[in-house]
Copies of this chain bind each other. A is one copy, B any other.
Amino acid sequence: MKDRRKAILEAAARVIARRGVRGLRVEELAAEARVSKALVYYHFEDRAGLLRHTLEFIGDRAERYTRRDPAGRPHEPVSPLRELERRLLLELQDAPEVRENSTAWGELRASAVFDPELREELAQAGLDWVREIADLLGRAGPTVPDAALVASAERLTALLEGLSTRWLIGLLPLRHARELMREAIAVELERLELPDRPAVCTVR
């Protein structure tokens, strides 16, 4: 009951989803968590510290829903291609937690354009993310040169980021964004000549 610290982090995640990292005001956050401003400073030193811990909190939550099933257990191993699709569609869901995560990551990317300090951490995360997708593609088609896998992974992840932003803006219904993502995966697989899955529905 008295874990106010966690309540503050959860509230921070909600406020970031509503106002953005740059729009987060300590006062609004305190109100959201139903605590005083001073308590926020007591637990997190200053605004920057609060932000650090909140982003870590959000990252941990993402980790959880990335690698575990809804009940919290590591999810069943599936084929590399299924896993690939699962991973890429994970960010396109309307659950509050996921939406908060997508929003925060989008903001982080957007902020990094103007804040060199953010770039380093983001660069590492971005590379890891591309690498994971490339590996999943590689496990499905072991004879494809690595450079081609990486190029496909880069396109897929960049597309995901673009679609995610458009979804969050309200420019693209979630269903449609997911559909576009699925088709893009299929198109890339065709290009890599790994059509051991339902072929892309042909256009005409």
Chain A contact residues, CB within 8 Å of chain B: 18-20, 22-23, 103, 106-107, 109-114, 119, 122-123, 126, 143-145, 148, 151, 154-155, 157-163, 165-166, 168-172, 176, 179-180, 183-184, 187-188, 190-193, 200, 202-204
Chain B positions within 8 Å of A166 at CB level? 126, 158, 161
Indicate if the CB atoms of B203 and A192 lie closer than 8 Å.
yes
Question: What number of copies of this chain does the assembly contain?
Answer: 2
Specify the main secondary structure of chain A where it touches its partner. Answer: helix
Indicate if the CB atoms of A155 and B126 lie closer than 8 Å.
no
Interface CB pairs A-B, < 8 A, 16: A20-B113, A22-B22, A106-B110, A107-B113, A110-B110, A113-B168, A119-B170, A126-B166, A144-B204, A145-B203, A155-B180, A155-B184, A157-B162, A162-B162, A162-B163, A190-B190
